[in-house]
């Protein structure tokens, strides 16, 4: 399989980095796997795509108009998406592949391939376990191992069934003026993760935040790697 590495895109929002990497999405059918509350689905719909987001933990919705496109959310697991063969132009995993249970990862990559049209693309965006945000977060929610497993799954199960791969890096801007702002974002994540509010508010997390704040001035940018398979 051919692999292409392009230069770092620099600092961008998560959505802007995705759109810069996959190109125009107007008129495309997009399947967003592990969609959460639908932020990416809505953003792509606003650019003119028709998006169906699947997640096992969110309530389904009807079609929602957004910008020049539309989206809806539905129940589904990564290895069993109820969509026809060769029906999608783009399949997304945005910060979600490392949440797929390990025993489902091979099936998830095969399912993405099944969903895609012959000229379709699979885009997997994963946070890299490094930087100031990781240093603070690992105290209460260390995803280093599950992200490593997700990386290995791409190499083992996606690369062999796609013809090419492009790897793109950028950094998602995350600025926190104080610990309260950081902890509010972290606490919101307890809805979908296995840590608790008291874990976020522990003295060690606060000390690490203050340490990084003094070094980075509130800039906790998150490194992201995109793997685009075609």
Residues of the chain above pLDDT 90, percent: 93
Find the helix or strand (DSSP H, E) in which 51 lies: strand 50-54
For 40, what's the count of Cα atoms within 13 Å in the CB-facing half-sphere? Answer: 29
Q: Are strands 116-127 and 88-94 parallel, antiparallel or unpaired?
A: parallel
Residue 81 CA to residue 44 CA, distance in Å, equals 19
Residue 4 has pLDDT above 70, yes or no: no
Note the pLDDT of residue 193: 85
CA distances (Å), 114 to each of 14, 88, 137, in order?
26, 9, 36
Note the pLDDT of residue 6: 63
Rounded to the nearest 5 percent, the helix, strand and coil shares of the chain are 40, 30, 35
Note the pLDDT of residue 98: 96
Local structure of 165: helix, strand or coil: strand
Residue 196 has pLDDT above 70, yes or no: yes
Write the CB contacts of 24 (distance below 8 Å, at least 6 apart in sequence).
Answer: 47, 48
Span 51-75, pLDDT tens digits: 999 999 999 999 999 999 999 999 9
Note the pLDDT of residue 183: 97
Average pLDDT over residues 79-102: 97
Residue 184 has pLDDT above 70, yes or no: yes
């Amino acid at each position: 399989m051919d692999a292409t590495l392009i230069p770092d895109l620099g600092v961008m929002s998560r959505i802007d980095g995705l759109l810069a990497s996959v190109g125009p999405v107007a008129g495309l059918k997009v399947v967003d796997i592990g969609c959460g509350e639908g932020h990416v689905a809505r953003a792509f719909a606003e650019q003119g795509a028709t998006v169906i987001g699947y997640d096992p933990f969110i309530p389904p919705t009807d079609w929602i108009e957004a910008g020049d496109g539309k989206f809806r959310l539905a129940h589904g697991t990564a290895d069993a998406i109820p969509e026809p063969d060769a029906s999608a132009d783009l399949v997304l995993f945005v910060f979600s592949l490392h949440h797929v249970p390990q025993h489902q990862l091979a099936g998830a990559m095969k399912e993405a391939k099944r969903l895609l049209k012959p000229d379709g693309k699979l885009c997997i965006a994963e946070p890299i376990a490094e930087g100031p945000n990781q240093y603070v977060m690992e105290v209460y929610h260390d995803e280093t191992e599950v992200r490593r497993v997700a990386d290995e799954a791409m190499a083992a199960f996606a690369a062999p069934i796609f013809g090419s791969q492009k790897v793109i890096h950028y950094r998602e801007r995350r600025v926190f003026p104080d610990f309260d702002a950081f902890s509010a974002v972290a606490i919101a994540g307890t809805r979908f993760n296995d840590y608790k509010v008291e874990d976020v508010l522990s003295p060690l997390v606060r000390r690490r935040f203050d340490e990084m704040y003094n070094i980075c001035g509130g800039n906790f940018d998150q490194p992201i790697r995109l793997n685009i398979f075609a």
